Amino acid sequence: MVQLTVNGQTHDIEAEPDMPLLWVLREQIGLTGTKFGCGIALCGACTVHIDGVATRSCVMPLSAIGAEQKIVTIEGLSPDGSHPVQKAWLALDVPQCGYCQTGMIMAVASLLETNPTPSDDDIDAEITNICRCGTYNRVRAAIHMAADGKAG
């Protein structure tokens, strides 16, 4: 048995050491806001924060995570959906099907922590999540809006 700290709560996990964090979150802890898209860290739907850093959880084995590391999922990003990124997303009605959006929001929230006012080039380099519905232009606008809100 190992311990994981997720969204500020400690969980005792009984699982194989090679089980990816994505499936620990979804099936052992019951947090399904983090999505399965590709399983090989290429689409970003499974993005969570580990100690503040955006991480694709589908290839991160349980054995690689220590109890002291702080994992944050979309469910823990804010208590009431009021994170600046979520607010910007709501203001611009960004999602279409929405399946990739929780991963997208987590990736953006992490980017803004390290780079509060990213340029378009920064966004191009850092936000590589796949959206098949095609929300990219609204994602970009919402990132700038969230950045401005934070600056103000």
Partner 1 sequence: MSLVQSVSRRNFIVGSGATVAGLSLGFHVPFLASASAQEAGANLPPEINAWVVVKPDGTIVVRIARSEMGQGTLTGLAQLVVEELEGDWSKVTTEYPPPGENLKRDRVWGSYSTGGSRGIRDSHDYVRKGGAAARHMLVAAAAEQWGVPAGDCAAANSVITHGPSGRTLRFGEVAEAAGRQTPPAEVTLKDPKDWKIAGKPLPRLDTVEKLTGKQVYGADLKLPGMLNAAIKACPVFGGTLVSFDAAAIEKMPGVKKVVKVDERSVAVVADTWWRAKAALDALPIAWDEGPNKNLSSADISAMLAEGLEAQEAFIGNSQGDAKAELARVQAAGGKVITATYAFPYQNHATMEPMNATARWTEDRCEVWVPTQNGEASLAAAAEAAGLPVGQCEVYKIHLGGGFGRRGNFQDYVRQSVSIAKQMPGIPVKLLWTREEDMLHGAYHPTTQAKLTGALDADGNLTALHLRISGQSILAAVRPQGMQGGMDPVVFQGLTASLPEGHLAYTVPNLLIDHAMRNPPVPPGFWRGVNLNQNAIYVECFIDELAHAAGTEPLAFRRKLMANHPKHLAVLEAAANGIGWDTPPAPGRHRGLGQIMGFGSYVAAAAEVSVEKGALKIHRIVAATDPGHVVNPAQVERQVEGSFVYGLSACLYGECTLAGGRMEQENFDTYEVLRMAEMPDVETIMLPSGGFWGGVGEPTIAVAAPAVLNALFAATGKRYRTMPLKNHELA
Residues that bind partner 1 (CB under 8 A): 16, 18-20, 23, 26-28, 30-40, 42-43, 45, 73-75, 79-82, 86, 89-90, 93-102, 105, 123-125, 127-140
Residue 92 tokens read as 């611009």
Q: Which residue has the tokens 């100690």?
A: 51
Nearer to partner 1, 53 or 125 (CB): 125
Nearer to partner 1, 71 or 139 (CB): 139
Q: How far out from the chain centre does Cα 28 lie?
A: 18
Nearer to partner 1, 70 or 136 (CB): 136
CB of 107 to partner 1, least distance (A): 10
CB of 69 to partner 1, least distance (A): 20
Q: Which residues contact 152 (CB under 8 A, 6 or more apart)?
A: none
Count of beta carbons in the 10 Å neighbourhood of residue 110: 22
Task: Give 4's DSSP letter.
Answer: E
